[in-house]
Amino acid sequence: MPHTAKNINLEIEKQEILRRYKCLLRAAHKSKTAKDKQLIRKAFDIALNAHKDMRRKTGEPYIYHPIAVAHIAAEEIGLGTTSIVCALLHDTVEDTDITLHDIERMFGKKVAKIIDGLTKISEVVDQSASIQAENFRKILLTLADDVRVILIKLADRLHNMRTLESMHRNKQLKIASETIYLYAPLAHRLGLYTIKSELEDLSLKYTDPEVYEEITQKLKKTQSVRTRFINSFMAPIQRALDQHHFKYEIKGRPKSIFSIYNKMKSKNVPFEEVYDVFAIRIVLDSPSELEKSDCWRAYSLVTDFYQPNPDRLRDWISTPKGNGYESLHTTVMSPTGKWVEVQIRSKRMDEIAEKGFAAHWKYKEGSEENRFDAWLNKIRDILENPESDALDFIDDFKLNLFADEIFIFTPKGDLKNLPKGSTALDFAFDIHTQVGYHCIGAKVNNKLIPLSEPLKSGDQVEIITTKKQKPKEDWLNYVITSKAKVAIKNALNEEKKKIALEGKEIIQRKFEHLKWPFTNTNHTIIAKYYSLKDPLDLFYRVAINKIEASHFGHLFTLEKNKLIPTSQIVSKTTSQANPENYVDLKSRKDETLVIGETMDTFEYKLSPCCNPIPGDEVFGFITISDGIKIHKTNCPNAVQLMSNYAYRIVKARWTNQESIAFLAGIKVTGIDKVGIVNEITQIISSELNVNMRSISFDSIDGIFEGKIMVFVHDTNHLIQLCSKLKIVDGVIHVTRFDSN
């Protein structure tokens, strides 16, 4: 450790640890009895002693971390004594001499089981050598046992994100990408909206620091204007609520930085044009039997003063979201011509929305099965299939985590929740796997519709089946739910396995003819040669005549019972240097990019999905067949690559070089007037000596949009060009776009 006792005041640290522990006890609202406090103290003492010689990257005592995780679990998620004890001890089994057996002896089976789950998660998540998606599946398997494992893991991840400052840049990018890709959607689905928003904001802080800083500063600058606007907007509503004797609280808070960033990106507008940067929330203190009627009465008062947008009314009180979220959302027009989102909910609904349904769910005495249980059961259904591809699984699962919901009725009037965009085929599989397998058609509101047609909320759906029907390959294009995709893939795989047996026999006869050993290793070598994922794929392709087994004798040679592709014998030096068949990395003279830990120069390609240019913050990704590809760190695909393939990410940065020009796209919009195109092209070609590859302008109803492809040296050169164009009279926006 770099820190010594000389430069650390141990007495001050001791006092600080005690202060943090007392804060934790104050946050532990549910741990009121003497027995609860005794258990927490016992766990704290054990953790303190176990971690006494350990320090975090910041140099602080390690015990600060478990205390902080326990504090988040208690204060921000609302968990009780068992969870606080587990949070305090969550790293002891993995990092110290304490065993699971010790934990069970001191705290019982329940605590030991939760800590075992947390330890397993750490083991899989922190190994960057394995694909993150596979890890996430393992994490979810622990959720099937006790959801507190996931809740404590989210608290752990939140504290790590809050203290990410001290990590190296490449580690920050990996952890932030993993957070936005896996943990934020999971927090969202568990109803932990506050934690989900903070995880998203902190991820953006590290994946795109400039944008994060820009939005943060603009929110600070506009705070006083926002406060004045909210006060004047709410004044008449407050008077009306008082007259009707409501007990209420009003909260006016800005949207999260990440959601503002998403709006700016999806609508391609600057911060100033994101109209709903804040929402106003009216929280009513109503008894449970009057909650629903009071919310609608309050809605009526709001719309007495302000015109609502009928397309933006969301009633999650009559039909709560699958994670228990209940609220009434409306968007109304303010006197200044701005749309304002107003959320109306009761105190109970607000607490569930802030802290998550999970915290109020299973640990109350005698609580019954509810929507949350139903959601967990769906996860268990998906997890029951161990053969599905991990990356497909995580993509499907993420889609289902983030999706808005629609409500569909069965012919008997039962209500089913499905993600928005679900089809009749999704609905069939949601009823039962066998219903899905044999589905040949569907009636929606008594009319026959194609199986691929998306359903709408309120539809009544009847599924038509026949025993002769079997799942088809193109069904995968008709469904969006994980349950349906997994079931269809399973059925197709079973069919594929039957066909593959024929291919296996063909290969076996060929191997016998060539006197080659018929081993799994040799099957894998041939499969890899054809870029197939496993021998089963090879057997299948041979059976359907996509691969000719008769060619094997020319393509492979046997050495010590192991097949070697003949192409590798020709260039053996390449294969030794590069056993994974990634790419032969040669240096080149006109290099402008340095790559890897030692920052050597290698062969690379610029990725067309984000079109990086010198000056952009970039990273390298080792592809299987196309060498190293360079992406911007804020590339749309970066999060997925860093989350799933962290072990194939290499550092990369630009070096100074002005002799090479890079292609970049600029989009210009503004008011169409005579001579404006000429003025724009003059600036580009004459003033800054920039070469244009292509230019196109469209004009509709007095507004023009131009797309110009230019050759620039680096980001600064591009920024300079954009700044010049912005001052042209009539130009409203100048933005960079990816030129793919």
Phi, psi of 471 (to 5 degrees): -60, 145
Angstrom distance (rounded) from CA 359 to CA 643: 28
Helix or strand holding residue 228 (H, E): helix 223-243
The 3-state secondary structure of 514-569 reads HCCCCCHHHHHHHHHHCCCCCHHHHHHHHHCCCCCHHHHHHHEEEECCEEEEHHHH
Using alpha carbons only, how large is the chain's radius of gyration in Å?
A: 30
Backbone dihedral angles phi then psi of residue 384, each to the nearest 5 degrees: -65, -20
C-beta neighbour count of 152 within 10 angstroms: 27
Taking the CA atoms of 379, 380, 385 and 387 in sequence, report the sign of the dihedral they define: positive
3-state secondary structure of 628: strand
Nearest to 281 by CA among 330, 219, 223: 330
| Distance (Å, whole) CA 504 – CA 211 | 55
Q: What does the angle CA 659 – CA 662 – CA 664 come to, to the nearest 5 degrees?
A: 150
Residue 55 main-chain phi, psi, to 5 deg? -130, 155
Under a CB-based contact definition with an 8 Å cutoff, are residues 153 and 138 in contact?
Answer: no
- Rounded to whole angstroms, the Cα distance separating 479 from 471 reads 12
Interatomic CA distance for residues 692 and 680, integer angstroms:
12
For the annotated catalytic residues, the residue numbers are 94-95
Q: 356: helix, coil or strand? A: coil
Residue-wise burial string across 261-295, b where 16 or more C-beta atoms lie within 10 A, e elsewhere: bebbeeeeeebeebebbbbbbbbbebeeeebeebb
Closest CA to 528 of 576, 567, 580: 580
- Chain length of the chain: 740
Spatial separation of the C-alpha atoms in residues 2 and 570, rounded to whole Å: 51
Instruction: Name the residue among 405, 594, 368 with its Cα closest to residue 481.
Output: 405
Sign for the CA dihedral angle at 291, 292, 294, 295 comes to positive
Tokens of 3: 């820190």
Picking from 291, 378, 375, 295, the residue whose alpha carbon sits closest to that of residue 343 is: 295
3-state secondary structure 303-330: HHHCCECHHHCEECCCCCCCCCCCCEEE
Residue 277: strand, helix, or coil:
coil
Phi, psi of 439 (to 5 degrees): -75, 130
For residues 661 and 469, give the distance between their C-alpha atoms in angstroms, rounded to a whole number.
58
Residue linked to tokens 């995880």: 199
Residue 690 is classified by DSSP as P
Per DSSP bridges, beta strands 604-606 and 628-632 are parallel
Running DSSP on this structure, what letter comes out for residue 80?
Answer: -
- Rounded to an integer, what distance in angstroms lies between the CA atom of residue 679 and that of residue 671? 13
Distance between first and last Cα of the chain: 48
Extract the runs of DSSP E, i.e. beta strands, from 255-338.
278-284, 314-315, 328-333
CA gap 127, 123 in Å, rounded: 7
Listed residue (686, 681, 687) closest to 666, CA to CA: 681
CB atoms within 10 A of CB 303: 14
In angstroms, the Cα distances linking 180 to 184, 203, 496, 563 are 5, 6, 36, 43
